[in-house]
Amino acid sequence: MRASAFVYPWDVNGDPDAAERIAGLGVRQATLASAYHSTRALTPRHPRHRIVTAPHAAVLYPMDAGRWQGRGLRPYAAGDWAPGDAYGDAAGALAAAGLDVHTWVVLAHNSRMGENFPATSVVNAYGDRYPWAPCVAQPGTRAYLTDLAVEAALRPGAAGTELESLGWYGLPHLHAHDKTAGVALGDAGTYLMSLCFCPSCRDGYTRLGLVPDQLAGAVRRALEPVWRGGTPAGGWEAVEELLGGELATATRAWRDSVARSLQTDVVGAVRAAAPEGFRILLHADPDSSHVGANAGVDPGHILTVADGVVVPCGAGPGLLTPFAGHATGRTVLAANFPVVRGMGGSPATLFEDATRAAGVGATELRLYHAGLASDEDLSLVADALARLG
């Protein structure tokens, strides 16, 4: 199985051994961040630093000034954590080590944009804004995301791209000193807390025959048992039970149509600008009601649009199955495994995990993350890939 390791530019730049070390794992590809959200990252082998702090979402290359001239929503340049053409420098080193390089593009996840342009953010039923989550129903946000995807995906020499968070983002979000786990929301509570009531979404609900203020009130009432400690069991059926089947179906119809059209438009724009053979994958979850980095999608639809998907498999390969039912001989189904033990990964079981994933349709592997892993983690990864051949 073809394997790729996720990498940040700062893992490679300034470390003359990094590219060869990554290639030595037995991977054929590096999935290299070109546009990324804020983060604080460990670099356990770098000769110059051990911690890299990126305080805001940024593009990791010099943006095209002409593309963004005069526009309010535009990418932010990186600071000293990724100076100059950090992506291009790292891509060159990885390619010289014999690796195919694909871009890794984070889209609808940008806290600085939400702070500077608060009207772009998701607004929950209580009126709270989520600055990390741009509302993907807003025309200006959609135009920004489309152009960002084209620019960040099609970096010189890239053979493909992997688009993360191309859909709804909501409540789930790692944050400094996070204190949101006091009440277990479950999938249903998370969905209700992720419903957006910005002006664009209110207009969308109205077009479906709903009264937005009444819908927001119904959502707040549905959540009252959750705040009292009654974590709803189940997924979508629990949303229907809490909110009522008619209202639940209407909210999902709006959100599904928004996400589906955005995914179609963005992938289409990247494909129109890309050279022949350029591969476009989405980080995806097969339940379209789910939110986050692995955007909820309709498997049957997305595999007619993109060349494939990258699917989280840390809890097992089950999320691959809905995609496998719609795959063709050319579809890429990449099973994404965390391999950093300190972040919950299991590099020691990678061979067995990958074998199970292949059994339900996986065609490739993704390994998160070559730059964050310890030497021992990487040794276990190399052993597993050698066994997989």
Domain ranges of the chain: 2-180+255-388
Query: What integer pLDDT is reported at residue 179 of this predicted model?
Result: 55
% of the chain exceeding 90 in pLDDT: 93
Query: What integer pLDDT is reported at residue 185 of this predicted model?
Result: 84
Query: What integer pLDDT is reported at residue 234 of this predicted model?
Result: 80
Q: Residue 354 is encoded by which pair of tokens?
A: 């990958």
Query: What integer pLDDT is reported at residue 232 of this predicted model?
Result: 78
- 336 SS3 class: strand
Quick check: 153 pLDDT over 90? yes
pTM over the 0.95 mark: yes
Rg over CA atoms, the chain? 21
pLDDT level of residue 341 (50, 70, 90 thresholds): very high
Quick check: 237 pLDDT over 90? yes
What is the average pLDDT across 294-315?
97
- 350 SS3 class: helix
Residue 315, burial from CB neighbour count under 10 angstroms (0-12, 13-18, 19+): exposed
| pLDDT tens string 247-288 | 999 999 999 999 999 999 999 999 999 999 999 999 999 999
Quick check: 44 pLDDT over 80? yes
Q: How would you classify residue 227: left for phi > 0, otherwise alpha for psi between -120 and 50, otherwise beta?
A: alpha
pLDDT level of residue 181 (50, 70, 90 thresholds): low
- Domain 2-180+255-388, CATH: 3.20.20.80
Quick check: 33 pLDDT over 80? yes
pLDDT level of residue 173 (50, 70, 90 thresholds): confident
Query: What integer pLDDT is reported at residue 28 of this predicted model?
Result: 98
